[in-house]
Amino acid sequence: MKLTLGFSPCPNDTFIFDAMIHHKIDTEGLEFEVFYDDVETLNHKAFDVNLDITKLSFHAFAFAVEDYALLDSGSALGFGVGPLLISRDKITPDLLRQDPAGYTEGGRPLKIGIPGRFTTANFLFSLAFPLLTNKVEMVFSEIEDSLLKGDIDLGLIIHENRFTYQDKGLKKVIDLGSFWEEQTGCAIPLGGIVIRRELPGEIKQKVNRVLKKSVEYAFENPKSGIEFIRQHAQAMDEEVMYKHIELYVNKYSVDLGAEGRKAIKLLFDTALSKEIIPDLKEDIFLNE
C-alpha cells in the first residue's frame, strides 16, 4: 500500500524518516510518496486533509484533530528546544510586557515576524506576550534577514536559526521554551507526526510500528542518512546539521511515553483555557 507522507526538509525530520522511506528497515509492505514542505505549509495541508501522514505543529494539530490522530513516534519535544524571540538591539522581556512600543519611534506598534500563525512558536509567543499582536507571517528562514533590514522589530525563530542568529549580531530577548518550562515543569511540545483517522486501524498501527523502527534505526546508525540529510539541508554545514538533530530528536521521538503525553495534554489544556484553540471533539492520541 502506498501512503502520502509530508515532512520538512529540516535535519531532524530527514534523520527520522530516512530509514523508513529508503527501506533500510522492514516497512511491512508500505510504500511512501513523500512531500517536503516547511511546517506552516504542512499545517495547511493538514487542514485540507491532503496527506495520509504528516508532520505538523502541535498548535495546528488542534485544528486538524477531527481528521488526524497523533502517532507515538516522531514527535519533537524537549527541554531547551523552544523557539527564540530575537531583536537587533538589546531589549528585555519585562520592557516588552510593560511598554510594548516603548522603544520604537513615535511609540508605533511593534512588528513581529513569525514563522506561521498555526506554529507552536506563535502559540508560545501569544502566551508570553499577549499584547504584541502586530504579526507578519513569513518563511522561518527569512526572519533573520528581515530583522537585519529593519522590516520587522522582533523575530520569532525556530529550527537551525537558533544556531545562526548570534553570528549575525542579533540578540536574544527570550527563549520561549524556557518560559514554558518555568511555567509548567514540562517539556515543550513543538511538532508531531499524525495519521488520517479514516485509514484502516491495521494500517495506522503498521505505520506506528514502522515509524518507531525508523527512529530507532537512525539512533543506532546516525551517519547512515548523512547524504540524504545534507541534500535537504541547503547550505547548512554538518556541525549545525547534527546540533539540530541532537536538539530536536530524543527519547520522545522514539516514543512519547506517559511523560510526553502529559506535556502534550497540558499544552492543549492551556490553549483551551486561553481560548486559543477550539474544543477538541476527538482523542488526541492514536488508540489501539
Same domain, 193 and 66: yes
Q: How far apart are CA 58 and CA 76, in angstroms?
A: 10
- pLDDT for residue 130: 85
Same domain, 180 and 203: no
Residue 198's pLDDT band (boundaries 50, 70, 90)? very high
Q: 14-26: per-residue pLDDT in tens?
A: 999 999 999 999 9
Residue 103 inside a domain? The answer is yes
For residue 235, pLDDT beyond 80: no
Residue of 28 and 239 predicted with greater confidence: 28
Provide the grid cell at 263.
506535556
Q: What is the mean pLDDT of residues 228-256?
A: 88
* Nearest C-alpha neighbor of 60 from the set 120, 130, 113: 120
- Integer-rounded Cα Rg, in Å, for the chain is 19
Q: What is the mean pLDDT of residues 142-153?
A: 94
Among candidate residues 184, 206, 234, the one where a domain is terminated? 184
- pLDDT for residue 100: 64
Same domain, 120 and 41: no
Looking at the chain, the whole-number percentage of residues with pLDDT higher than 70 is: 96
Among candidate residues 146, 165, 184, the one where a domain is terminated? 184
Q: How far apart are CA 164 and CA 86, in angstroms?
A: 12
Same domain, 113 and 180: yes
Residue 288 inside a domain? The answer is no
Which of 22, 44, 59, 159 is catalytic? The answer is: 159
Among candidate residues 133, 161, 184, the one where a domain is terminated? 184
Residue 283 inside a domain? The answer is no
Same domain, 88 and 180: yes
Are the beta carbons of 162 and 118 closer than 8 angstroms?
no
**Domain of 73, in residue numbers:** 2-78+188-273
- pLDDT for residue 103: 58
Cβ atoms < 10 Å from Cβ of 227: 9
- pLDDT for residue 101: 58
- pLDDT for residue 276: 86
- pLDDT for residue 175: 92
Which residues carry a binding-site annotation?
Answer: 55-57, 120-121
Helices 238-248 and 11-21: crossing angle, nearest 10°? 80
Same domain, 51 and 122: no
Same domain, 89 and 69: no
Which residues carry a binding-site annotation for substrate?
Answer: 55-57, 120-121
Cβ atoms < 10 Å from Cβ of 235: 5
Whichever domain contains 215, its CATH number is 3.40.190.10
Residue 147 inside a domain? The answer is yes
> Who contacts 50 (Cβ-Cβ below 8 Å, separation ≥6)?
4, 6
- Pick from 13-22, 34-43, 127-136: least confident: 127-136
pLDDT, the chain, mean: 91
Q: How far apart are CA 251 and CA 216, in angstroms?
A: 10
Q: Over 63-110, what HEC string results?
A: CCCCCEEECCCCCEEECCCCCEEEECCCCCHHHHHHCCCCCCHHHCCC
Are the beta carbons of 3 and 54 closer than 8 angstroms?
no
Exposed / middle / buried, residue 169 (Cβ in 10 Å: 0-12, 13-18, 19+): exposed
For residue 240, pLDDT beyond 90: no
- pLDDT for residue 80: 80
Same domain, 178 and 240: no
Same domain, 73 and 114: no
Q: 63-108: per-residue pLDDT in tens?
A: 999 999 999 999 999 888 889 999 998 888 888 887 665 556 566 7
Same domain, 180 and 96: yes
How many domains, the chain?
2
Q: Would you put residue 49 in left (φ > 0), alpha (ψ -120 to 50) or beta? A: left
**Known catalytic residue: 22?**
no
Same domain, 117 and 142: yes
- pLDDT for residue 247: 85
Residue 72 inside a domain? The answer is yes
- Pick from 22-36, 152-166, 187-201: least confident: 152-166
Output 217-225 pairs: Cβ under 8 A, ≥24 positions apart: 217/19, 217/24, 217/25, 218/15, 218/16, 218/18, 218/19, 218/249, 219/249, 219/254, 221/19, 221/24, 222/15, 224/18, 224/19, 224/24, 225/14, 225/15, 225/18, 225/19, 225/22
Residue 47's pLDDT band (boundaries 50, 70, 90)? very high
- pLDDT for residue 41: 95
Same domain, 132 and 204: no
Looking at the chain, the whole-number percentage of residues with pLDDT higher than 90 is: 71
- pLDDT for residue 288: 53
